[in-house]
Chains A and B, each alone.
Chain A
Amino acid sequence: MTPERWQKVEEVLQTTLDLPETERSAHLAQVCADDYELRQEAQSLLEAHEEAGDFLEQPALEQDARVLLGQDELGRIATDIGPYQVIDRLGRGGMGEVYLAQDRRLGRRVALKVLPPYFVSDDARLRRFQTEARAASALNHGNILTIYEVGQTDELHFIATEYIEGRTIRELIRAGSLALGEVLDIAIQLVTGLSAAHAAGIVHRDIKPENIMRREDGALKILDFGIAKLLEEPAVESSDWTTSIPNSKTETGALMGTIGYISPEQVRGLGIDERTDVWSCGVVLFEMLTGKRPFTGVTNADTIVAILEGTPPPLFESRVSSTVLRMIARVVEKALSKRAEDRYQTADALLADLKAIETELKRVPADKTSTVIGAGTRVNELASLLHQQATARRRNRFVAAAAVAAVVLAVSSFALYRYFRSDSGPQAPPVKKIYAQMSEDEKLRFVDEQEQRISAMIGERPARLNDEAVRVIKTHVDWYVARKGAKPGDEGLSGVYRRAPPYIPVIAKAFDERRIPVVIGVYLPMLESAYTPCYENSFGAKGLFQFLPQTAQNYGVARADMCDVNKMAPAAAHYIADRMAELGDDSQSMTLVLLSYNQGPNAVLDALRSLRESDTKFERNYWSLFANRDKLSQSFREGAGYVPGFFAVAIIGENPEAFELGMPPLSSLANDALKAR
């Protein structure tokens, strides 16, 4: 970029940033009308601005004071911790400082991890951690780093572990010289250690290359058992599906956080068991083989979406003739199944397959000159083989859309469920033709019929949609239909549809208990839970509901509190009341209420209750916003555009056969999900 060009880009960026958030995209479109590249450039900087958060806000020296002090000062900073004499500082991670120390009592060297104060400030969390760490310290296995002591001094909590000299798997991956046989050996030792831990009822939950070390003699050690739990928020009582929401609180790596190793169920805050570790092993194995993580994205939100929705690039070319590689690919694929029940159910099962590969590998002649892939083949030689395919899949954009659609779908399902259970609305006419085969007239009639059904479904009163809303709905239907038959690599609506069920019971239950005509847009819980603090740059707020951050700020909620449902609910109520005032008393508008169910169904109910209390026109106010869209000020029209998408998905979801989707209607899924509960 030339200085002149940058000046122009910056000018656009600055004028855009001077505007309220809701007006930015319109402004950007206007000033960059005929300069697509300028717009791209400014847009990406705008996004960077939103994502940057605390980036560079803490002066460098506050992190790096030691550099100034120099080595000789080290000993004076912390010479003694309990019975340990500190010899050297080994590093610093999310878990605080790590020192090399000498145990004065036993004369042995230990690695001493000192927990940062904020980790231990919460008594309940500390107790939980201690319980876990003590359980882990009972593990006695050659592939698990031995925990000697979990202790404290007056000021500090620390963990003393076995000290080993070696390299982390991260370093080995970076060095890029691992051979296939080594990769397999590492995987086998890793899974062997995990298997022993699982047998003792301990799940590691934070397996990643940084947490695995290979000693000089080749022995592998898994570090930090049980410690991951400290990073998690305390469990919410009486709702077991929120017990383990991960967040990405790491101190170093502030510029480039890594969340690429957590499993879909961790992201979603669902229950965690040994299959979570199986997933992470799959990721590590993938990375050892390719040097890349299977799920990545530009931002953490993108990575999370990739974990939940993305298909990893293929490990090997499909036509690869090596039996070993085909076996490896199968193992990785199985370990990385999105659904825990599709993965290896135990570490032992995974281990068995890894050993089978090892056996196969030994059969391959170790002829270095041949092109046969064997134990000595360097993985970075494989990489060139893999590379051809690795770039083939474009993924991010659509996956993001799919995540949104999944939520839309989940919400729709609930509404449909209500409708079908009540048996009070008009019954769906049997569909004779698939949508694609219909004439234009038939298509229009079909959509109109569905609209009527939806009207009945969302409440006992009619929701009248104006012509433009109807038109937009039809556009959306067409869009979904077109999307369904899109490209082979893309995941169609069927994929989105398949993933909806987990959300349904929660939503259905919450609303079944309250007979209120509310359509709820769920604030993507799995994404939100990965963000602490959850600023407006999180995917949920930015991508799904543009007006949320605006609402939060305008209605006095601090950015950092945006994920706090109790603080957000009154703001949302005021927001809605204000929009309704804008529309006038005669409007039949329905507004989307955005809630988090991150904290469990009870929190949703509480939030609804507080909404109701803080909004005297509650019943009336939750009607169709879109119907009166043209009455809204410019800045709110975009948010209203979400409503028709909701209806469109509802129509499709309830008539899958009409859209050539081979699956049952959503309402039946909702029923099943409720029964299963």
Chain B
Amino acid sequence: MMTVATSELTGLLRDWKQGDPTALERLTPLIYDELRRIAHRYAQRERNGHTLQTTALVNEAYLRLAGAEKPDWQNRSHFFAVTAQVMRHILIDHARRRRYVKHGGDVQQVSLEAAGLMAEERAAELISLDEALNDLARIDPRKIRVVEMRYFGGLSLEETANALGTSVMTVRRDWRAAKAWLYKAVNRES
């Protein structure tokens, strides 16, 4: 479904970077579809494989979406950052639906819908992590970007630094502080 003009991706990324609140909304289906398609192909290739590498996946998605466009380092970094956010939304949405179905629906429905994709405990974990992230965002938004890229985007410290245009040292420090903060928040909640 390569219907999106490649220049559109660049434009959307630029909008997103400039703080256009609708950009993420418009980017999400685009990225989600692409990620799904790639993930499916991986899954078919390795029937029992759960070896889906997040970075590889995102990389491939970028290359495909960017298409014939000249590979643009800046663009790629933005793409990684935005993809991490998209991933977070997808997973948290799913976790919330999972919970909703679990508590509201009947057993049969659970097994056919959300349950197959995510264990309930995992959904609870993700939701409490998301809440902790929202709390942290209020006092230190930069760390949220780091966590999104590392945890949801699967980026290494170096890649995260590149995408954020900062030093590896800064990312490393942000990461350890954010981890401690979130770990504490998540465990206190439980």
Contacts and interface: CB of A to CB of B under 8 A. Distances in A.
Contact of B117 (A49, A61, A71, A298): A71
A587 to B, nearest CB: 39
A1 B139 contact: yes
17 contacts: A7-B140, A13-B177, A13-B180, A45-B181, A48-B184, A56-B179, A56-B182, A59-B151, A59-B154, A60-B126, A61-B54, A69-B36, A69-B40, A69-B117, A92-B122, A255-B125, A256-B125
B27 to A, nearest CB: 16
Interface string A1-39: 111011100100110010000000000000000000000
Given A91-B119, A100-B111, A252-B119, A67 B180 contact: no
Interface string B161-190: 000000000000100110111111011101
A67 B125 contact: no
A617 B111 CA distance: 66
B154 A91 contact: no
Interface string A149-162: 00000011000000
A61 B119 contact: no
Nearest to A253: B121
Describe B's contact surface by its main secondary structure. helix
B54 A49 contact: no
A92 B119 contact: yes
Interface stretch (A73-81, A193-201, A330-338): A73-81
A92 B187 CA distance: 21
Interface stretch (B10-18, B43-51, B71-79): B43-51
A256 B127 CA distance: 13
Nearest to A66: B117
A44 B184 contact: yes
B181 to A, nearest CB: 6
A256 B187 contact: yes
A378 interface: no
Contacts of B118: 64, 66-67
Kindly list the 4 A-B residue pairs having the minimum CB-CB distance in the complex, ordered from nearest.
A59-B154, A49-B180, A48-B184, A89-B116
Interface of B: 35-36, 39-40, 43-44, 47-48, 50, 52-55, 57, 87-88, 90-91, 94, 107-108, 111-113, 115-122, 125-126, 128-129, 138-140, 147, 150-154, 173, 176-177, 179-184, 186-188, 190
Contacts of B117: 64, 66-67, 69-71, 89
Contacts of B147: 56
B118 to A, nearest CB: 6
Interface string A584-616: 000000000000000000000000000000000
B180 to A, nearest CB: 4
Interface in A173-209: none
Contacts of A67: 90-91, 94, 117-118
Contacts of A61: 52, 54, 57, 87, 91, 152, 154
A68 B39 contact: yes
Contacts of A132: none
A77 B183 contact: no
B72 to A, nearest CB: 24
Interface in A274-316: 298-299
Contact of B116 (A74, A93, A256): A74
B151 to A, nearest CB: 5
B180 A59 contact: no
Contacts of B52: 61-62, 65
Given A60-B88, A69-B39, A76-B43, 15 more contacts: A13-B177, A13-B180, A59-B150, A59-B154, A60-B126, A61-B54, A62-B54, A66-B118, A68-B39, A69-B36, A70-B36, A89-B115, A91-B115, A100-B111, A253-B121
Nearest to A42: B180
Contact of A90 (B50, B57, B111, B113): B111
B183 to A, nearest CB: 4
Most B CB contacts (10 A, CB to CB) among A1, A66, A71, A156 go to: A66
